[in-house]
Structure 1
Amino acid sequence: MNKYRKLYVDKTAQTFADELVMFGLIRLLWEVTGANVTVMDCGAYYELTSPLPLEQTALDQASGVFPIPFIQTGKNKENLPPEAVGVDYDAEREQRNLYFSAQDKSGVARPHPHWDIFRAINPVALPSYTALLENWWRLQSHLPEVLALLFDLYAAHPNDIEGAIEAWKQLDKLHGWGISAEATCQQLYNPDQGKGQNKTKADGLSIRNVKSFWLVEYLKAIGFYESAMTRLVRGAKDRKTFVVVPRIIDFFTLRQVKSQFGETMQFRETSTRFDILAAIRYTRTLIEYHLTSEDVDEPWLRESWMPRQEVAGFRTAFYKDLGNAVATMNLSFIALPGWIYINSAADARLYVELLNEIELVTRQFDENNSDAFRLLQHLRDFVSGDDLQAFFRFTSLFPSYYMGMKERNKYVRPFSTLFVERLMMSTDINLYEILMAEGFQNVAYAIRQSTITAQYRKKQGDRKYDVRYGLGQELVRKSRYPADFMVALSNFMHKFNAENAQIMETRGGPYRRSLKTSDIEEIAQLIDKYGSEVVGNMLVAYGYARLPREDDETAIAELEQEIEDNG
């Protein structure tokens, strides 16, 4: 065992199994040295840097290292080591049910923070999980030797797994433990390695489990507690698991942020909403951590900062419930928003508000509704993929959804103009210049007055102005060709001004302001410079956005209550 400050974890699986190994190793390193390890993504591997050197003396003093607990059930309780550190599954389940059934939760203890992990392990993965912990329990008297083997394994890149297995076999033979070097790869930690036809060489057809070095599987089990968030999907027994993918960040920050993030993800969600909410809530939690933590310098004091500089996002797995087993149906990566650039504490607080706005917009959609599902898909592509076209696809579909819901007296929350402005500033400064053009602002005002505002007044009994249903869809559809778009937009502007003139002749004020010739001239110049699709999509996005002063707090409260009532 040499003195090491750096360890390396290869990315061999290209699923969240790699991150689980890395987090498990960091936790063991912390148990031995107490050091705040910094992890850095180096592409093909993770580099772990400890501020304290890993020396043999620290290993020699290591004892009683039990990072994760046994899970005791009525069936296995008698077979567990008598002095084992464990949790009573049945008692934790009763406590959770008691907490969520209590109307007054002030005097009721909260559920165990790892309850969802316990539920994910029991019953399918529990036997293998227990076997790993029993192996670890048996070797405690010679723990320094085992830790040295593990740290030597990850002291160089690439990791010599075969050499570590041979070293383990010799160590096992020396002490007579009788612990096999291989253990079954559980699908909970290895989403791509379920039971089935898995032979490297196709020399026969048989169903079998995939095996791996048992100490590596034990690290994955530890890492699951440190980095995973697993929840059941609303309306089903299916499960979705999210594992943090760091870029460059320290272990203490990761633990604090994960703990606070977990508090925001207590309830079930549908699959697509899960993805969006996980990305924006983790981003918000990370920003708030840097705003409030006294032990951490604000990163934007050094340079323009992005949350994605510290955490890339999540690797996810969707498991379909099959009764007595589960099947991995989807593996994906959900990135944190890449359009957030923070240069000051004021910027940080503003982006927290904008992330709150995305959450409110997201939560209003029922994924069982086909139109809402399409909107959520586009919103996820925008939030996670930095795809401005996805945002425009969302804003082009949203008007029809908005108008339809309003006709049924349902409150719908559009994005605010502030959100659209800040988004354009973050993605492309030229697009922000389009927003600030006076002609653009005036035409967007006319669109808003003819749709959102006119429909609101209609519901209030004021039918002074006609509601232009389908205007947003028509403008987006025509924007593919500049000439067609200018014809459609000019036709709308003509009708808008004509209606204004008619109302001014027959009714009293207040009146809408009319469009000017300079407005159409400026729009034409913008189309020549940026293209009709960009201008058209931005007009619809901004025209159907709400003004900040139109924020109806009562309506927002009603929306949130409706969301809670629907589960």
Structure 2
Amino acid sequence: MIKSLLVGKQFGTYADTFLMLGLALLVEYALQKTQQTAQIQLIDEGTHYRIQFKKPVNLEPIAQLSYANPFPPVCGQKTDRSKLPPETPIFDVVEQGEIRKLYREYLYQNHGRGETGEDTPKPPHPSTQNGAILTSMRHDKNHNELWLQGWEQRDNYGALLTSILQAFSEDTHSTLKPESERVADLFQQATGSQLPPPASAVKVYLPTAVQGVNRVKADGNKFDSQKTDWLSLWLIANGLFTLGVSERVKISDRTYDWRVTALEPKDIPLTKYREVLDHLRQYNPPGSGHGVARFDAELVLKFCQSLLNYHQAKANSPDEDEFEIWEPVNYFVSGFTGTHFGQKGQVYGVKEVFSLGLPGWIQPSNAKELIDYQLVLNEHLAVISSLSTEDGHSELLAAYRDFITGNNIRKFFPFQVSYADYVIKRLADPKARHPRLFSVFGLNLMTQKEFSQITTDPSFLRLAKAINQATVFAGKVQTKNGLIELDWQRNYGLAQQLSSQSGSKKDFICAVTDFLAKYEHENLRLSERLHGTEKRLMRVWPRKEDLDRLIELVEKFDTVLVANLLIAYGYAKWKKSEEAEAVELSTDEETDKGASEDE
């Protein structure tokens, strides 16, 4: 009886993850076919992965299993199919690609909403792009050879499965032999046959393998490609095809590269892992036509959406207590590891090996917050979807990616400072589309765990609202009823000024004081104009106590943090309820109507 399997991390790339996933999928099939409890937990324990079974596994019925395809052969237009058995079902990349293309066009026409109905096209297979990269990089031949060699073991398939389970079992983990050698020995003892010979370590499976220059033979100038044991490559092929996330990403006008990523499990059931990943790949795929940085950012944001969707369904189910859903998103999975394959003429080479983290600030604690975080994710997606490398937003997208793929919320601020400058430029251009703004509601949710002492302070909010009314809600503003011109002009460059002075407490306070002096002078001018009328000035009036309180906050927290939060809230989207509650603004009916229209 086997309680768990241990899978060592021998490659240092996503190959380790795919090998473990391929093994977990294989074992899950065996448990289901033998009617054993198939609940499997994937756990990352640092130097190795643990595949934990809910109940011990009985090997006897598994030894009697007949062959079943762990993954299908992949065929494109030019794939050689002569060696494949005629009755074998194949994965047709061309056919599946057309289905995916049709569904992506449907999503685009419906602004990303995948509604169900009679006219809704069939969603694509989750592994469509994994098959596409194999044919694009001409590795379909290697993939199919691995499948064929596994198929040739069909008469001893049960023995192969039991040998794998025994070799990876925790009980035999202390032996010095690698798992693949232990499997080969056990398989030979059980059947008298040998496993297939080592196969070529192509770069899509092992990105760090050196192809064609592994060793030089002493008696000639021939170079042999690097080889790896068949079992490891077979398991990696299974994991990559079934659970990989591959996409062809636009780099420039005529250049497209491939990015292949593996979702790194931390402590998550296999069924949940697969369901969330399938939802992401089928119904909510990241866009790939606007550069690498935006693709990475969308990948992380949309994965978080899919995970929260799963949690929302579980929160409404009667067995909610069985699921740990009130944890940060990076509690279940740690992020993505991947490889970027750069196009070099007709071939692709490994350009970089990378990793993407997940935002730890997404941590719902109840059913309402699940919905709230979904709204915030939609807001962030709307912002980055308005940016693209073609329009010169590469630096903005790179800064946002650094934030969303990390676990430090402070990385949001460098992006926000630059984005604030972008927002003001867009607002100043009457022909430009209105820029997307982060909301105060969303910022509150993002910062509530760490910075609520600052962001809920009434003086801080009054100062932030003053910045907002001097920059975003100033000059000519677009409302639902068209363009209107307010009585005060827009302040340009304030975000950059406050950010540049935040290195010194004295310089920062001087910069804020200078801004407030000009702001108050403008308020007095406007008040004089409205004197004797029934109208009242729809602008916040910061007080001396607010500046004193800001100095206290700067003394208690660091200056850079307070400055960045002021900029973030100052250039955000405020609602009337937030204004009334936090800033206590007084407005007349006419101006209040204009403010609500601007929202």
* TM-score, with length taken from structure 1: 0.88
Q: Over aligned residues, Cα RMSD in angstroms?
A: 3.1
1:375-394: per-residue Cα shift (whole Å, max 9, x none)? 22222222221223321111
Determine the structure 2 residue equivalent to 1:565: none
- Out of 5, 10, 14, the position equivalent to 1:7 is 5
In the alignment, structure 1 residue 188 sits paired with structure 2 residue 188: no
The question of 1:486 aligning with 2:486 is answered no
Could you tell me which residue of structure 2 aligns to residue 563 of structure 1? none
Q: Does 1:367 align with 2:389?
A: yes
Could you tell me how far 1:364 is from its partner in structure 2? 1.2
The 2-side partners of 1:488 and 1:101 are apart by 50
Counterpart residue type for residue 438 of structure 2 = F
1:131-530 counterparts in 2 under 5 A?
A: 131-155=145-169, 156-157=172-173, 162=178, 164-165=180-181, 168=184, 180-198=196-214, 207-234=223-250, 236-262=255-281, 263-265=283-285, 267-269=287-289, 270-293=291-314, 297-298=319-320, 304-370=326-392, 372-408=393-429, 409-426=432-449, 428=450, 431-457=451-477, 460-507=483-530, 509-511=535-537, 512-530=539-557
**In 2, Cα distance between equivalents of 1:207 and 1:455:** 70
Is 1:88 equivalent to 2:84 in the alignment? no
Please state how far the C-alpha of 1:186 moved relative to its aligned partner: 2.0
Q: 1:160: Cα distance to partner?
A: 5.6
The answer to whether the 8 A contact 1:33-1:52 is kept is: no
SS in 2 for 1:237: strand
CA distance in 2, matches of 1:282, 1:457: 35
Paired position in structure 2 for 1:116: 129
1:535 corresponds to 2:562: yes
Q: Is the 8 A contact 1:195 1:207 kept in 2?
A: no
Write out per-residue CA displacement over residues 396-433 of structure 1, whole angstroms, 9 at most, x where no aligned residue: 1112111112223222112111122222212x1xx211
Asked if 2 retains the 8 angstrom alpha-carbon contact of 1:149 and 1:164, the reply is: no
Could you tell me how far apart the structure 2 residues matched to 1:437 and 1:101 are? 47
Q: Distance in 2 between matches of 1:200 and 1:542?
A: 63
1:179 Cα deviation (Å)?
Answer: 6.1
Query: Aligned partner of 1:248: which letter?
Result: D
1:356 Cα offset (Å): 1.5
SS in structure 2 of the partner of residue 453 of structure 1:
coil
Hey, what does 2:30 align to over in structure 1? 32
Matching residue of 1:560: none
Q: Which of 129, 134, 141 matches 1:127?
A: 141
- Code of the residue aligned with 1:256 in structure 2: it is E
**Residues 131 and 241 in structure 2, CA contact (< 8 A), matched pair in contact too:** no
Deviation at 1:42, TM superposition (A): 0.8
Structure 1, 244-253 or 185-194: larger mean CA deviation:
185-194
1:301–1:344 Cα contact (<8 Å) kept: no
Question: Once the 2 structures are TM-superposed, how far is the Cα of residue 134 of structure 1 from its aligned partner?
Answer: 0.7
> Comparing both structures, which one devotes a greater share of its residues to helix?
1
Note if contact 1:290-1:298 (Cα within 8 Å) is conserved in structure 2. no
Q: Give the C-alpha shift of residue 472 in structure 1.
A: 1.1
Tell whether the 8 Å contact from 2:8 to 2:48 is kept in structure 1 after alignment. yes
Q: Deviations over 1:470-526 (max 9, x none)?
A: 011111111111111111111111111111111121246441232211111111211
Structure 2: distance between partners of 1:188 and 1:12: 16
| Structure 1 range deviating more: 257-266 or 503-512 | 503-512
What CA distance in whole angstroms lies between the structure 1 residues aligned with 2:4 and 2:470? 63
Structure 2 unaligned segments of length 5 or more: list them. Answer: 33-37, 111-117, 579-599
Contact 1:11 1:44 in 2 (8 A): yes
Distance 1:492 1:167 in 2: 72
Q: For 2:175 and 2:21, how far apart are their aligned partners in 1?
A: 16
* Counterpart residue identity of residue 225, structure 1: F
Which blocks of at least 5 consecutive residues in structure 1 are unaligned? 552-567
Report the identity percentage: 23
Amino acid aligned to 1:149: S
- Work out the CA distance in 2 between the residues paired with 1:467 and 1:514: 17
Contact 1:284 1:355 in 2 (8 A): yes
Question: C-alpha displacement at 1:237, in angstroms?
Answer: 2.3
Matched AA of 1:77: R
* Deviation digits for residues 434-473 of structure 1 (CA, Å, limit 9, x no counterpart): 1122211111111000000004448934241021100111
